[in-house]
């Protein structure tokens, strides 16, 4: 029996790969290769090139070696002493991690681990990562975790409230997205005036300032008994 790989299958696979890359924090090409592997191909290029050619379907699915997921700093199972740099998509020796990258290594690895904890099935649907694997960045990850915990503890009630408004389709929702992506925003601020001064110094638009007033009004109303 034979089947053909349709353009619709290619497009759906392309979307699945983008979603996997975002959820797993891995490069797009790596996610594409994983998706292609699910269809019995060695890589994405082979999968796409066969889009209009007949594909023979085996009577019994071939057994494939489980795919091993690596997070930033994980040691290679096949090459001990080499560790995965997710920012470079390469296995490197420890001295590589002494070099500066786009994002500090501990912070990058910490965020990847937290994503993994929140949505493990996003990873295990495509492969596996063993419990407590050896990771070169353990100390840096713990430092990043302590910094994250301290930051979370310092956030004001308003900052926690505005985070919950990110999905709103209005100016307050737009403001919430900007606030949560702004690393300089005064997360401890508990007065409207403090946040207004920050927006003025940051040359925020009048629309953003108006949205802040509206957000504060809604927040303050909820605090009243």
CATH number for the domain harbouring residue 198: 1.10.150.260
Which residues span the domain enclosing 135? Answer: 83-152
- Asked whether residue 172 falls in the same domain as residue 204, the answer is yes
Q: Considering the entire predicted model, what is its pTM?
A: 0.60
Statement: residue 40 has pLDDT above 60: yes
Count Cβ atoms below 10 Å from residue 86 Cβ, excluding itself: 22
Buried/exposed code over 50-85 (b: 16+ C-beta within 10 A; e: otherwise): beeeeeeeeeeeeeeeeeebbbbbbbeeeeeebbbb
Domain limit, last residue, from 152, 175, 190: 152
Of 152, 146, 176, whose CA–CA distance to 163 is shortest? Answer: 176
d(CA 12, CA 19): 11
Q: Is residue 62 part of a domain?
A: no
d(CA 40, CA 190): 56
Report how many domains make up the chain.
3
Strands 2-4 and 54-56: antiparallel
Express each pLDDT in 110-163 by its tens digit. 999 998 888 766 665 667 888 889 999 999 999 999 999 999 999 999 999 999
Return the DSSP state at 94.
G
Return the DSSP state at 136.
T
Domain limit, last residue, from 104, 130, 152: 152
pLDDT of residue 13: 79
Express each pLDDT in 49-106 by its tens digit. 665 454 454 554 555 567 788 999 999 999 999 999 999 989 999 999 999 999 999 9
- Asked whether residue 109 falls in the same domain as residue 170, the answer is no
- Asked whether residue 8 falls in the same domain as residue 23, the answer is yes
- Asked whether residue 212 falls in the same domain as residue 189, the answer is yes
pLDDT of residue 19: 79
Q: Is residue 106 part of a domain?
A: yes
Q: Is residue 119 part of a domain?
A: yes
- Asked whether residue 159 falls in the same domain as residue 210, the answer is yes
């Amino acid at each position: 029996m034979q089947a053909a790989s349709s353009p619709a299958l290619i497009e759906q696979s392309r979307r699945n790969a983008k979603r996997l890359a975002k959820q797993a924090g891995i490069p797009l090409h790596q996610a594409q290769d994983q998706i292609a592997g699910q269809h019995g191909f060695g890589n994405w290029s082979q999968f796409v090139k066969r889009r209009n050619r007949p594909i023979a379907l085996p009577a019994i699915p071939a057994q494939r070696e489980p795919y091993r997921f690596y997070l930033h700093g994980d040691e290679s199972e096949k090459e001990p002493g080499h560790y995965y740099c997710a920012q470079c998509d390469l296995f490197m020796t420890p001295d590589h991690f002494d070099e500066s990258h786009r994002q500090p290594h501990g912070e990058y690895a910490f965020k990847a681990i937290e994503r993994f904890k929140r949505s493990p099935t996003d990873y295990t649907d495509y492969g596996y990562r063993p419990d407590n694997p050896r990771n070169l960045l353990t100390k840096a990850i713990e430092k990043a975790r302590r910094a994250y915990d301290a930051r979370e503890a310092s956030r004001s009630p308003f900052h926690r409230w505005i985070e919950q408004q990110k999905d709103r389709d209005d100016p307050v929702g737009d403001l919430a997205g900007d606030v949560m992506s702004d690393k300089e925003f005064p997360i401890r601020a508990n007065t409207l005036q403090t946040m207004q001064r920050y927006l003025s110094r940051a040359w925020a638009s009048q629309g953003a300032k108006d949205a802040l007033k509206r957000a504060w009004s809604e927040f303050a109303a909820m605090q009243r008994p």
